[in-house]
Chain A
Amino acid sequence: MDIFLQLVASGFLVGGIYALIALGFVLIYKATNIINFATGEFMMIGAYIFYSLVVYLKLSPFIGFPLVIIFAAILGFLVERLILRHMLGQPNISIIMVTIGLSSILLGLAEIIWGSSFRSFPPLFPRKPIILGEIVLRSNLFYGFLMAMVVVAVFLLLFKYAKVGVAMRATANDQMAAFSMGINVKTMFTISWAFGAIAASLGGIIIGNIGGVQPTLGHIGLKIFPIVILGGLDSIIGAVIGGFIVGIVENLAGGYLDPYFHGGVKDLAPFVVLIFILLIKPHGLFGTKEIERL
């Protein structure tokens, strides 16, 4: 039972961080209907930028964070403006492929710039593990989780109350109506890409702080898909719930099944769950069923 609680607790913490990364995906999907396969790479680039700022330029992490946010916003802006803007109105396959191409470019660039070797972050948080009753939590994971939750909460509040958030929700709801209300829809697209990139890169910093950073960090981005499908593609709350579910599922699968399969089950389990969910509910657990008309 101890081990079970332990696995669930750390799975819950990891899930919170996944939720932040999934938020980076959902923000873009909700506003623009674009499936961003490069979310994982945004994450990896964010982690590397932070690493460079803190290690090479010896900046304090408190300056590093805002700089990464600015950089991620610029990255998101450029990607939308230079590539995705040209793809408006193209078929789904083309748009998916463009983001896959983009992820390949970012992955290659990161490897050229930072090399393929594994780098670990300097300690950002106190190292003492957190002990809750019988559960021991790694401090990196715990503080990372807190940070992720703060960022998610900020985004949620932004959506609820800030003018730009309301405008983004309006755009997601009905582009024509938003247009006629004087919202610049194209600007909203750009902003949502910037927001998506920010959420993903902050998630990247947290993940990088836990497990170190290397170009293949972006593969964690693949886990977004089970998460968003569980949670429904266009639901922000769904992404958070999905993140928790996937975090717990993969930790339990890893803890109990990995010894029998010599590893690898942990990364696979969310996808197996995903397949079963898709077989039963083709639009995910919380996703809106699209009604198609001719």
Chain B
Amino acid sequence: MHIGDFKETYASDQAVFINATSRFWLGILFALLILFPFVAGDYLLFMANLAGITIIGAVGLNILTGFAGLISLGHAAFIGVGGYTAAILSTRFDLPFLLCLPLSGLMAAFFGIIVGGPSLRLKGLYLCIATLAAQLILEFIFVHWESMTGGIRGMNISPPDIFGYVLDNDFKFYFVTLIMVILCVTFARNLFRTRVGRAFIAIRDRDISAELMGINLLRYKTYAFALSSFLAGISGCLWVNFLKTITPEHFPLLESVRYLAMIIVGGMGSILGSILGAIFMTIVPEVISTILGFLVNIFPTAMSFLFPLQQVIFGLLIVIFLVFEPHGLAEIWRRIKNYFHLWPFEH
């Protein structure tokens, strides 16, 4: 039970980790994350890397859609821009991984600004369709700029190294992913304690009011696009360095929808929500394929339903969460936490 939590200074009220209990549990979580790769098998490590990379992308989309209220159907394409930038820089220009990482983020941010630039004039549906157009145009470029992107066949890259230390397996890469996830999440969490982040929220709630309060809409909407695509670019760079291959098929419109599904299932406008949603959406397909794997004994053709079944379940999750739990997993988590705060005296 947790009582007597009074705040006497503004600093303590605004602290990220409000009390000793949360710091304690965070420490435990951190320790577990460090220990995880030493006990986990190859498969779990692979999934953990994938989940981590997805988390960065989902946090990026949540900044744009969940916090700034600008819906984007082109997030996968921005991740693709980051991925292709990393692949091109490392194969054609032999740049080291540590330099590729920020550069691919910046490149994606640049594209984000181009797409988001007109966003001051576009709203709601119109913006949504403009990002849809961006997704399709970028996909077209990935496929058709063959001299640079390798066309349909895509590109392969060699394992990245950091100052000569080659990250050639999932175990080593896990720590890179972990560090990047922690950096990005910390950045995003703190962003919303600054003027920029609060401006995003004001724009989401009512852009005209925000403008009246002295927020330059064009500038802050552009920031939102730039920051979101920057994280998408980082995620894309990690993604290509982790899987060591990239093709246009990895970034279809469906992938953008999957990212939107993540932040809705996780909770829009919540960093914790992006993390939970990304993990959830990485695990769900695996669970489905495991279940189908068992069913193969009974129905030999079960595996052919894997892809459509995933689609149905993604769709159902989006609809069910929006209808019954619009604030997502983050809200469920908060309720569980509150229950135990006062346990066993609920009322």
Contact = CB atoms under 8 A, between A and B. Distances in A.
Interface of A: 35, 83, 86-87, 90, 92-94, 96-98, 100-112, 116, 215, 222, 225, 229, 233, 261-262, 264, 267-268, 271-272, 274-275, 278-279, 282-284, 292, 294
A261 to B, nearest CB: 5
A83 B323 contact: yes
Contacts, number: 131
12 contacts: A83-B323, A93-B268, A102-B319, A105-B315, A106-B315, A225-B129, A229-B129, A274-B133, A275-B133, A283-B126, A294-B206, A294-B212
A100 B257 contact: yes
Given A87-B323, A96-B125, A225-B132, A108 B308 contact: yes
Which 9 pairs, one residue from A and one from B, show the smallest C-beta to C-beta distance?
A101-B318, A108-B311, A104-B315, A105-B315, A108-B312, A111-B308, A271-B133, A282-B121, A108-B308
A112 B318 contact: no
B102 interface: no
Given A35-B125, A268-B136, A271-B137, A86 B323 contact: yes
Contacts of A261: 144
Interface string B198-210: 0000000010110
User: Which secondary structure dominates where chain A touches chain B?
Assistant: helix
B318 A97 contact: yes
Interface string B209-238: 100100000000000000000000000000
Contacts of B96: none
Given A83-B319, A94-B322, A282-B126, A109 B71 contact: no
Nearest to B319: A101
A193 B268 CA distance: 28
Contacts of A93: 65, 69, 71, 268
B310 interface: yes
Given A83-B319, A108-B314, A112-B308, 17 more contacts: A90-B326, A92-B71, A93-B69, A97-B261, A98-B323, A100-B318, A104-B314, A222-B132, A225-B132, A271-B136, A275-B130, A279-B121, A282-B121, A284-B126, A292-B208, A294-B209, A294-B212
